[in-house]
Amino acid sequence: MTRPPVRYRIITASLLTVAAIYFLVPVYWLIVSATKNSADLFGTFGFWFSEHPHPIDHLVDVLTYDHGIYARWFANSVLYAGIGAVCATLLSGAAGYALAKFPFRGREAIFNAVLAGVLIPGTALALPLYFLFSSMGLSNTYWAVLIPSVVSPFGVYLCRIYAAAAVPDSLLEAARIDGAGEARIFGGLGLRLMTPALVTVFLFQFVHIWNNYFLPLVMLSDSDLYPIQLGLTSWTGYADRQPVLYQYTVGGAFLSVVPLMVLMTVLQRYWRTGLTEGSVKS
């Protein structure tokens, strides 16, 4: 392969560097600020460390404040996003598979309803959902966040499109002739062939739930059930009375962002493989 001219490479490299600075500067600020106390947070230059950085002490403070509530929020977030995403993936996989592979009456109607579901802003649903869940006694429980989280119309959309392309009918037919039951065919063959799409759905839903603010905001009142984001905003809410909370908010933000960023970077490959399926075939 011929190498492009040097001039061109320099331009490319400088453009990419500028972009990288833009994307990384706030992250850099977060890292620097996580080592500061509230006074330094306001009092010192944001892009450089204060005279006495206390990275470890401050993070320990964050973790131990209010009987370790932060760890609990973190665990809640993991629970909501983890369990929610796993269930969402299985449900979407099964539904997408069926919509792709079984011709039955009403199939297109269902698919169109699901598509419309993709287009409806989730925040428009949260409030009516709250009243509905309240009447069922589910508000302010783990279920209030978990149940809506396992429904992913986009996941179904993606899985259907992927299954239609990646799961050959001939293979299914052969399995049926061998006498395998539908559940086994799906569990053994379908899921395996759909793996890239499923991983994508899982990641997509994981991030979606992790980042969701509105639903838990509306549903939860007991701070023991909060996910991290809600917890951190509640800290900023008390911060004028207890300024140390500014420092905890920043430290908490730092702690919560790190694992997700690592996850993002490590799992990039999977995002790439599955994500476009929806668009390639549409």
Partner 1 sequence: MSRDTLSRAEPVTPKQRAPQRRQRRASRTEARNRRAAAGFVLPFLALFGLCFIAPIVYAVHQSLYKTERTGPLGLGGREHEAFAGLANYAHALSDDRFLTGFGRVLLFGAVQIPLMIVLATTLALLLESAGARGITFFRSAFFLPYGVPGVIASILWGFLYVPGISPLVKIADSIGWDVDFLSRGTVLWSIANIVTWQFTGYNMLVLIAQLKAVPGELYEAARIDGATAWQVARHIKLPLIRPALVLTCVFSIIGTLQLFAEPMVLRPLASSIDSGFTPNLHAYSEAFVGNNQHVAAAEAVLLALVACVLSFGFLRLVGGRAKERG
Partner 2 sequence: MTSNPMHRRTVLGGAAALAAGFALAGCGDSGDSDGDAPRERKKGQKINLTFWSWVPGIDKPVDLWNRQNPEVQVKVEKVSAVNGEQYAKMHAAIKAGNPPDLGQIEFPVIPSFLLDNGLLDLAPLGAARHKDKFFGWQWQQSVFGKGIYAVPQASGPMGLFIRQDLFDKWGVQVPGTWDDYEAAARAIRKKGAWIETFAPTNGNRFSGLAWQAGAKWYGTHGDTWIVNIDDEPTRKVADYWESLVKQKLVKTIPDRQNAWYKDLQTGAIPAWVGASWGDALLVGNAPGTKGKWRAAPLPQWKAGGKVFANWGGSTTAVFAKASYPKDALDFAVWLNTDPRSIALLIDGGYGFPSAKKGYATTDLDVDKDFFGGQAYSKIFADAGAHVDTSWQWGPGVDTLYQRLGDAFTDALADGSSFRSVLKKVQGQTLADLKGKGLKVESGG
Q: Please, which of residues 138-157 interact with partner 2 by CB under 8 A?
A: 139-140
- Is 70 an interacting residue with respect to partner 1 (CB under 8 A)? no
Token pair for 37: 């106390």
Based on CB atoms, which residue is closest to partner 1, 68 or 188? 188
Indicate whether 222 belongs to the interface with partner 2 (CB under 8 A).
yes
User: Judged by CB under 8 A, which of 51, 109, 121, 241 binds partner 1?
Assistant: 121
Told to check if 46 binds partner 2 by CB under 8 A, we report: no
Do 199 and 273 form a contact (C-beta atoms < 8 A)?
A: yes
Q: How far is the CB of 52 from partner 1 (least distance, A)?
A: 19
* Amino acid in the structure at residue 228: I
Region class of 35: left (phi > 0), else alpha (psi between -120 and 50), else beta: alpha
Identity at 106, one-letter amino acid code:
G
Look-up: residue for tokens 């990641």? 203
The answer to whether 112 contacts partner 2 (rule: CB under 8 A) is: no
Instruction: Please report how close the Cβ of residue 255 comes to partner 1 at its closest, in angstroms.
Output: 11
Q: Are 89 and 202 in contact (CB under 8 A)?
A: yes
- Name the one range near partner 2 by CB under 8 A: 6-14, 165-173, 243-251, 260-268: 243-251
- DSSP helix, strand, coil percent of the chain (3-state; round to 5): 80, 0, 20
212 residue type, one letter: N
Interface map 187-206 toward partner 1 (x if CB under 8 A)? x-------------------
Q: Single out the segment in contact with partner 1 by CB under 8 A; choices: 49-57, 60-68, 184-192.
A: 184-192
Minimum CB distance to partner 1 smaller for 69 or for 226: 226
One residue of 23, 137, 269, 282 binding partner 2 per CB under 8 A: 137
Give how far Cα 138 sits from Cα of 123, 147, 257, Å: 19, 10, 30
**Nearest to residue 201, comparing CAs of 103, 117, 266, 274?**
274
Calpha distance 34→41 (Å, rounded): 9
CB of 214 within 8 A of CB of 122? yes
**Nearest distance in Å: CB 67, partner 1:** 23
Phi/psi at 35 (5° precision): -95, 0
* Residue 276 binds partner 1 (CB under 8 A): yes
- Nearer to partner 1 by Cβ, of 54 and 107: the residue is 107
* Comparison of 139 and 152: residue with beta carbon closer to partner 2: 139
Min CB(60)–partner 1 separation in Å: 20
Judged by CB under 8 A, does residue 240 bind partner 2?
yes
Nearer to partner 1, 102 or 174 (CB): 102
- Short-list 101, 195, 200, 104, CA closest to 152: 200
Which residue ranges make up the site for partner 2 (CB under 8 A)?
38-39, 42-43, 130-131, 134-135, 137, 139-140, 217-218, 221-224, 230, 233-234, 236-238, 240-244, 246
